[in-house]
Amino acid sequence: MPTILFTLLFYVSPSTIAGLSVVNNQVILGAISVKMALLILLFIHTFLMPAIGIYILYRLKVVKSLEMDKLEDRRIPYLLTVIIYVAITAFFSLNDNLRHLSEISLVLASITFSLSMVSIISLFWKISAHAVGISGTVGAMIGIAIRYQDDALFYPILILILLMGFLISARLHLNAHTPMQVLAGSLLGLVISLGAVQFV
């Protein structure tokens, strides 16, 4: 979800990230733009590394199933994912060369906080991480559209809301979660991301 979120922000609404115009036309590595390099970096740290880490945990039999249906299978993968997200958030927040991209740090921090909350809640209860992820993306997009009064995000937000409905319906249809678990996940993701963008 972070890769989708940042792709939309970088290419549909680049004006919402103030420092992006500084690197907008810069090219590195011959043909890769700085925006693309940032997206690749974000993809590696927010999707690829957690996915590989979870697969390694599965191969080591720390996790019994890649679906992580059981609560005990979710705890260590979530902790690993939070550690990776803290690292990439710190990289963007503390790197002097990236200070002009503070909006990226803020959104990453809200995602990391949401994941941390999912990890803590998962010690006791099976909240829907899928619902947290998609609703957090919707909340961030709505917050950014309101804050920057950017009409370009209207249709992407509508599409994301539609995808959110499909995703939550699928989780319920598969009996992966109860209605309360997806509702709690949806509210958690939405409140944290929308609040972070609007009030931080």
Q: Residues 47-60: pLDDT tens digits?
A: 999 999 999 999 99
- pLDDT at position 29: 52
Q: Shortest CA distance to 13 belongs to which of 109, 133, 96, 103?
A: 103
Of 9-23, 54-68, 93-107, least confident by mean pLDDT is 9-23
Average pLDDT, the chain: 89
Cβ distance 78 to 129 under 8 Å? yes
Integer Cα distance of 109 and 87 in angstroms: 10
Dump the DSSP string for 128-146: -HHHHHHHHHHHHHHHHHH
Beta-ladder partners of 33: 27
- Whether the pLDDT of residue 32 is over 60: the answer is yes
Its pTM surpasses 0.85:
yes
Backbone dihedral region of 109: left (phi > 0), alpha (psi from -120 to 50 degrees) or beta?
alpha
Q: What is the model's pLDDT at position 102?
A: 83
Name the helix (H) or strand (E) containing 200. none
CA distance 107 to 96: 18
Residue 179, token pair as written in the block: 């209605």
In three-state form (DSSP H/G/I as H, E/B as E, the rest C), the secondary structure along 146-186 is: HHHCCHHHHHHHHHHHHHHHHHHHHHHHCCCCCHHHHHHHH
Condensed to tens digits (0 to 9), the pLDDT of residues 115-168 reads 999 999 999 999 999 999 999 999 999 999 998 888 999 999 999 999 999 999
What integer pLDDT is reported at residue 164 of this predicted model? 95
Looking at residue 15, its pLDDT comes to 81
In the Cβ-directed half-sphere of 124, how many Cα atoms lie within 13 Å? 3
Give the type of residue at 1. M
Report how far residue 181's alpha carbon sits from residue 200's, in angstroms, rounded to the nearest whole number. Answer: 27
| Whether the predicted pLDDT of 85 surpasses 60 | yes
pLDDT at 41 over 70: yes
